Amino acid sequence: MADITMPKTAARISDEAAAAKRARMDLISAVVRYSLLFGVGFLMLYPLIWLVGASFKTNSEIFAGAGFLPESPTVEGYVQGWQTSTPYTFGRFFWNSFLIILPKVIGTAISCTMVAYAFARFEFPLKKILFGSVIAVLLLPNVVTRIPQYILFRDLGWLDSFLPLWVPSALAGDAFFVFMLVQFLRSLPTDMEEAARVDGANSLQTLIFIVVPMLGPALVSVCLFQFMWTMNDFLGPLIYISSVDKYPVSLALKLSIDTTEAFEWNRILAMSVLTITPALVVFFAAQRYFIEGISAGGRKG
């Protein structure tokens, strides 16, 4: 027994020493890694943190230093910024943004789903050429179509209305979403749709009752992207909307810079904070749909 125990004890001591050393190294490595990550993360987030902090500062304090903590916090910026220099409050502009976003998101979801379904599941003449042109549109810079589009909408008499913002999306004009849904659909097994056909569902019923529920996660991200992009869209409303009472928040923010003689930076910052809030809230609320992603598709055996 003794001759077995002896070397074992010696081995154990060196083992323990090695384990302790390893644990120490792990700890140091973790501390270094996390401090680096926190440092860089903080650096990247700092402008946003400063924005929120500065929106509670007085106008004179904003340029006094780079710190983000206000010395004497005040909500004056929010109160006065909300009133704006126009006859309308900021609430009106939020409402306008909402009026643009809601039909646009719904239109995008419906039209892109139908177009993607057709491309992913049906054979029809010129399919390859048509899908090729969808991809081509994806690669085309937006700017190229601005002027022809403007002339078209002007001739239709749609200027200074929300129609030029809604209609292209409701006709699956966003090639990116069509492409994204086509790719997602291609990854889904077709068995369920075939079973539905055998069960007597026609193409539209199959789409609504079988495909759309399976597309759920992809559709949520389409809606989310469209929401954020529309919320942040500045150029579209700038070109087509000329009456202040129809301005969305993105234009209204610029408005407060234009019309005020001495810029009230705290009001602008306060309203900027309010403007980014909906997008942030929606993103964090819907985050899990991004994660669920493709795994929510068919059932494996």
Rounded CA separation 108/171 (Å): 7
From residue 170 to residue 189, what is the string marking binding to another protein with x (rule CB under 8 A)?
-------------------x
Least distance in angstroms from the C-beta of 279 to another protein: 29
Least distance in angstroms from the C-beta of 148 to another protein: 39
Among 115, 116, 214, 241, binds another protein (CB under 8 A): 214
Is the separation of the CB atoms in 174 and 108 below 8 Å?
Answer: yes
Among 106, 163, 192, 244, binds another protein (CB under 8 A): 192
Is position 194 an interface residue for another protein (rule: CB under 8 A)?
yes
Question: Which of 160, 199 has the CB closer to another protein?
Answer: 199
List own/partner pairs for 109-114 with CB under 8 A and 24 or more apart: 109/219, 109/222, 109/223, 109/226, 110/170, 111/169, 111/170, 111/171, 111/172, 112/172, 112/174, 112/177, 112/178, 112/181, 112/222, 113/181, 113/207, 113/211, 113/212, 113/215, 113/219, 114/172, 114/207
Least distance in angstroms from the C-beta of 199 to another protein: 4
Count Cα neighbours of 12 within 13 Å in the Cβ-side half-sphere.
6
Least distance in angstroms from the C-beta of 186 to another protein: 17
Least distance in angstroms from the C-beta of 193 to another protein: 9
Is the separation of the CB atoms in 285 and 260 below 8 Å?
Answer: no
Among 191, 242, 280, 287, binds another protein (CB under 8 A): 191
Among 178, 182, 196, 249, binds another protein (CB under 8 A): 196
Question: Which of 81, 297 has the CB closer to another protein?
Answer: 297
Q: How far is CA 181 from CA 122, 267, 281, in A?
A: 15, 41, 24
300: left (phi over 0), alpha (psi -120 to 50) or beta: beta
Among 210, 224, 255, 274, binds another protein (CB under 8 A): 210
Least distance in angstroms from the C-beta of 295 to another protein: 11
Residues whose CB falls within 8 Å of the CB of residue 240, separated by 6 or more in sequence, listed in order: 150, 153, 158, 159, 160, 161, 164, 165
Among 87, 129, 143, 299, binds another protein (CB under 8 A): 299
Q: In this structure, which amino acid lies at residue 125?
A: P
Total residues interacting with another protein, rule: CB under 8 A: 23
Least distance in angstroms from the C-beta of 192 to another protein: 5
Is position 128 an interface residue for another protein (rule: CB under 8 A)?
no
Judged by the rule CB under 8 A, the positions of this chain that interact with another protein are: 189, 191-192, 194-201, 205, 209-210, 213-214, 216, 296-301
